[in-house]
Structure 1
Amino acid sequence: MAVSAAEGAAPEAVAGAAQVAGAGASRAEARRSARTRLLLEAPIPSTLARLAAPNVIAMATTAATSIAEGWFAGRIGVSALAGLALVFPFVMLTQMLSAGAMGGAISAAVARALGAGDGRRADRLALHAAVIGIGAAALTAGLMGLFAPDLFALLGGGEAALPQALAYAAVFFPGCLCHWLCNAQLSAIRGTGNMFVPALALFAAAAGSIPIGGALALGWGPAPALGMAGLAAGQVISFGIAGLGAFAYIASGRAGFSLRRAFGRLEAGLFADILRVGLMAALSAVQTVATIVAMVGLVGRFGEAALAGYGLGARLEFLMVPIVFGMGAAMTAMVGANIGAGQRARALRVAWTGSLAAAGFVGSIGGVMAIFPDLWLGLFLGPENTGALEAGRMYFRTVGPFYFFFALGLALYFASQGAGRVLWPTVAGFARLAIAIGGGAALTGSLGFGLQGVFLAVAGGMLVYGVVTAGALRLGAWGRNGAGARG
């Protein structure tokens, strides 16, 4: 009889547990629905500010990480700074692809599904995003393992700088799976309108990488002094921990995703929903990096000091990308949800409001650097580094006033991801690339402008990038309904 009673109680216990789990999932989905309504109905400026604030704080910490890396490399030596200038564009490309291009496509796909009221599709998209991250990480590691030495040498890496760049790359790129998986999961969470948790995870990753990277690079306390390899290890370790935290949050159900509904047969249509936007958007990231890589090649002809000075200028230029991403991630989610709900006019207002705000902020930074370049350069270089200082000052005085246009084009690119319309930002990126490379080669060659010719070409490319992207949107680049992911 006791056995019979226990057997009777077991189904009741299971049913009770199922009810508790179901109630928890329902509460999570209710919170997700409330966030989606916020994207669709709340006032645009205040909603953008609320969504962007945690992202901007997290991205500022990411920028601090990059500054710290430059400072640590400076303590190792000028050759380490030059080596960092060689590898840094490819590190940033990995981060831009995983968080911005493919990450933005993931956020946009999830947001469009939720805007259309299809929660199950959003759940399935989160799983497909993780699979894409694994594949992209393997491809990145393989390509850099094969071609990094030749790439760095082609860019002007000399006997001193090249080993430093290779030491960093040997750790970072095999470990980039941590970046890809972390950013894929955080992007899916952003698509629900939850910006706080992804921002908190990135803040923790960035803040953690500074002491870890510094300790392993310079040998603080009992840590080994691994040099450039230690800097890379700091990033890999911190993003690995953040990725585990993101997975735990999703698995708990608090993100509003149901893992039970997510797992199942992989579907080509769901991969396509992410990849047809993400691959096109990836071209934009590649263009940004290719522009700077090409400029590194041109500047490298003028010597290691010029390369170190330009590398510091390019580092700040790159740091504007995560700053714009802080606003851009919020715009991607808002635009995606409104496009999914058929509210094209509101989506356009979101795009212009957020993009002009981001451009104004970044433009002010460029203006300050054009007037006071040593505010940045002095963090990494001493008065004795005259050649590098002069190159850096020339860069900021020439390019700084055009940061506004770079940020405007980049912010509208993030908004266009939400709409699934990234053709014109990509066209603008190709125009920027052509002007920077072609103009730089001409100005430094037959026209005899020397090093400043490279920087004039960079500035002209930024101007065209912003004007073409904004002009295309103003003339109707999102079409009548803005739906879909066609260019």
Structure 2
Amino acid sequence: MTSGEIRAPGGNAMDLTSGPIARTLLIFALPALGSNVLQSVNGSINAVWIGQLVGETGLAATANANLVMFMMFALIFGFGMASTIIIGQCAGRGDLAGMRQGVGTGVTLFFVLGLVATLVGWLTAPQLLHLLGTPDDVFPQALIYLRVMYLGLPTSLLTVFFAMAMRGAGDSLTPMLLMLPGMFIDIALNPLLILGWGPIPAMGIKGAAMATLIANFVSFVVMVAVIYARDLPVRLRGPEWRYLVPRRDLVGIIVGKGIPMGLQMVVMSVSALVMLGLVNREGTDTVAAYGAINQLWTYIQMPAMAIGMAASAMAAQNIGAGKWDRIDRIAVAGVLVNLALTGSMVVLTLLFDHRLLTLFLADHADAIMIAEHIGLLASWAFILMGVTMVLSSITRANGATMVPLVIMVLAYIPGRLGSIYLLNDSIGADAIWWSFPIGGALSLLLTFAYYWQGSWRNIRLLATVEEAEEFVQSEGEPTGRILPNG
């Protein structure tokens, strides 16, 4: 196989470096959007099982445990995004060996991180839950749930990595399809293990965690089996197994670029916690309203997340192929598709907000009225955030990670939180809701300025094909290394 033969037989990989940009972007983004929807549906159904079969304390326990898991995933997820950039650029330039070296290094790194996170998480779980202020009546169940979830981290992280790697190689459909077996198993096992059946004892909240643990392991096994059965580009065979020995230069890129990207998710998480604390001061009805509108916002954000992922993968491949003339067109197409999809979601949500909110708030008229008010003031901010996501995803596709992190910190701290402080005396609780569009507008302006200024285009993340080959042959020459930059 030559270096240019990226697509293996039976794969669903798309050529992201040629053809109509907007159409290709949309087709590539739709399966990613489907993956986001499936994850949310799976989480919602499991929450219903736990709420109905375990009770309020069980639901509160999973909420606390999941927040801890999300914070841990946040940092590690950045490493996956960095690996995807490497794989995407190698795929774009037709460097199959380089792409598989990225896969091998990523697999080893994620497996080791998973083992370390499992050990550290198991030992520190009580302290983390106390740090979150987990109520005493919720703490025992939250600890059980969290520790069982930690056991599945190594395979869960590898599953996420392989899905991201396939998307980087141009295949967003296969990862979506491979989610289905694990999703069905998770949904089916939850009531069975919570309540027990026949020789299976009733395990309560531990059963809910075990269901997810088993489902994630099955997903990993199925994913690896399909990768090898269909001979997908992200597989390793024969002499390629040596790629599992991490290359120092690739580890440098993954860690150096992954930490800032992971920190962006941490900033978002911390900001969400601070916002929740501010909302908690407004009373029970406002807290319930905020929780309900957040359920709707979860789905509003999905198109932007999918389009951002697609734009990043598409940009990475075109950068790898040296087709810089297509990058601005990818940005324009991504912005327009985001405006259409996210804008439509916002409009539909506002038109039918009362009926949708009733699903979560039943007949709590005061809370529904507050939630409608929050949605009217803040929901359209996600259109701005979607445009920002597209532009920042494209700059990250060339390894620009520090400036987007700084922009996010500025948008969330002086932007969002600062606006609440300045406006609180004059408009009260509305300052919280107005902070969403204010922070979104600041983030968009700064991101657009950085994109337009163009210094991110000068970053040289990956070496050329010739330099990469020289590295493989010499294993020590500086010219053969894939160097981090910026």
Which of 311, 318, 335 is the equivalent residue of 2:315? 335
Residues 128 and 483 of structure 1, relative CA distance in 2, 3 Å threshold: closer
Q: Is 1:410 equivalent to 2:389 in the alignment? A: yes
**Conserved in 2, the CA contact under 8 Å of 1:81 and 1:308?**
no
Residues 133 and 152 of structure 1, relative CA distance in 2, 3 Å threshold: same
Identity of aligned residues (%): 23
Give the 5 Å matches for 1:371-386.
371-383=351-363
Give the 5 Å matches for 1:247-396.
247-252=224-229, 254-256=231-233, 257-264=235-242, 265-302=245-282, 306-319=286-299, 323-383=303-363, 389=368, 392-396=371-375
Match of 1:463, SS? helix
Q: Which residue of 2 aligns with 1:243?
A: 220
Which of 99, 104, 110 is the equivalent residue of 2:81? 104
Q: Is 1:478 equivalent to 2:450 in the alignment? A: no
Question: So what's the TM-score if we normalise by structure 2?
Answer: 0.80
Q: Is 1:192 equivalent to 2:172 in the alignment? A: no
**Conserved in 2, the CA contact under 8 Å of 1:182 and 1:246?**
yes
CA positional deviation for 1:109 = 0.5
Give the 5 Å matches for 1:11-30.
29=6
Give the 5 Å matches for 1:451-462.
451-462=429-440
Residues 427 and 381 of structure 1, relative CA distance in 2, 3 Å threshold: same
**Conserved in 2, the CA contact under 8 Å of 1:52 and 1:329?**
yes
**Conserved in 2, the CA contact under 8 Å of 1:104 and 1:414?**
no
The whole-number CA distance in structure 2 between the counterparts of 1:148 and 1:27 is 47
Residues 397 and 153 of structure 1, relative CA distance in 2, 3 Å threshold: farther
**Conserved in 1, the CA contact under 8 Å of 2:167 and 2:313?**
yes
1:416 is matched by which residue type in structure 2?
A: T
The whole-number CA distance in structure 2 between the counterparts of 1:453 and 1:156 is 26
Residues 393 and 216 of structure 1, relative CA distance in 2, 3 Å threshold: farther
The whole-number CA distance in structure 1 between the counterparts of 2:139 and 2:237 is 45
CA positional deviation for 1:339 = 0.7
Q: Is 1:466 equivalent to 2:444 in the alignment? A: yes
Residues 360 and 130 of structure 1, relative CA distance in 2, 3 Å threshold: same
Deviates more, 1:346-355 or 1:365-374: 365-374
The whole-number CA distance in structure 1 between the counterparts of 2:121 and 2:485 is 30
**Conserved in 2, the CA contact under 8 Å of 1:62 and 1:322?**
no
Residues 283 and 270 of structure 1, relative CA distance in 2, 3 Å threshold: same
2:212 is matched by which residue type in structure 1?
A: Q
Match of 1:173, SS? helix
**Conserved in 2, the CA contact under 8 Å of 1:366 and 1:402?**
no
CA positional deviation for 1:412 = 3.0
Q: Which residue of 2 aligns with 1:12?
A: none
1:41 is matched by which residue type in structure 2?
A: S
The whole-number CA distance in structure 2 between the counterparts of 1:220 and 1:398 is 49
Structure 1 stretches lacking a partner, 5+ long: 1-21
2:391 is matched by which residue type in structure 1?
A: L
2:93 is matched by which residue type in structure 1?
A: A
1:273 is matched by which residue type in structure 2?
A: I
Residues 464 and 232 of structure 1, relative CA distance in 2, 3 Å threshold: farther
CA positional deviation for 1:459 = 3.9
The whole-number CA distance in structure 1 between the counterparts of 2:281 and 2:169 is 48
The whole-number CA distance in structure 1 between the counterparts of 2:440 and 2:41 is 24
Match of 1:419, SS? coil
Residues 368 and 242 of structure 1, relative CA distance in 2, 3 Å threshold: same
CA positional deviation for 1:39 = 1.7
CA positional deviation for 1:202 = 2.5
Deviates more, 1:307-316 or 1:289-298: 307-316
1:194 is matched by which residue type in structure 2?
A: D
Structure 1, residues 201-231: CA drift from partner, whole Å, max 9, x if none? 1244334433333544566898766554444
Q: Which residue of 1 aligns with 2:98?
A: 121
1:468 is matched by which residue type in structure 2?
A: L
CA positional deviation for 1:157 = 4.1
Q: Which residue of 2 aligns with 1:14?
A: none
**Conserved in 1, the CA contact under 8 Å of 2:14 and 2:171?**
no
**Conserved in 1, the CA contact under 8 Å of 2:33 and 2:303?**
yes
**Conserved in 2, the CA contact under 8 Å of 1:344 and 1:481?**
no
Q: Which residue of 2 aligns with 1:67?
A: 44
**Conserved in 2, the CA contact under 8 Å of 1:309 and 1:392?**
yes
**Conserved in 2, the CA contact under 8 Å of 1:363 and 1:407?**
no
The whole-number CA distance in structure 2 between the counterparts of 1:441 and 1:224 is 52
Deviates more, 1:130-139 or 1:142-151: 142-151
Structure 2 stretches lacking a partner, 5+ long: 463-483
The whole-number CA distance in structure 1 between the counterparts of 2:421 and 2:67 is 20
**Conserved in 2, the CA contact under 8 Å of 1:68 and 1:210?**
yes
Match of 2:360, SS? coil
The whole-number CA distance in structure 2 between the counterparts of 1:272 and 1:85 is 35
The whole-number CA distance in structure 1 between the counterparts of 2:110 and 2:439 is 31
Match of 2:16, SS? helix
The whole-number CA distance in structure 1 between the counterparts of 2:91 and 2:272 is 37
**Conserved in 2, the CA contact under 8 Å of 1:107 and 1:332?**
no
Q: Is 1:397 equivalent to 2:379 in the alignment? A: no
Structure 1, residues 150-180: CA drift from partner, whole Å, max 9, x if none? 5555555444555564454233233222321
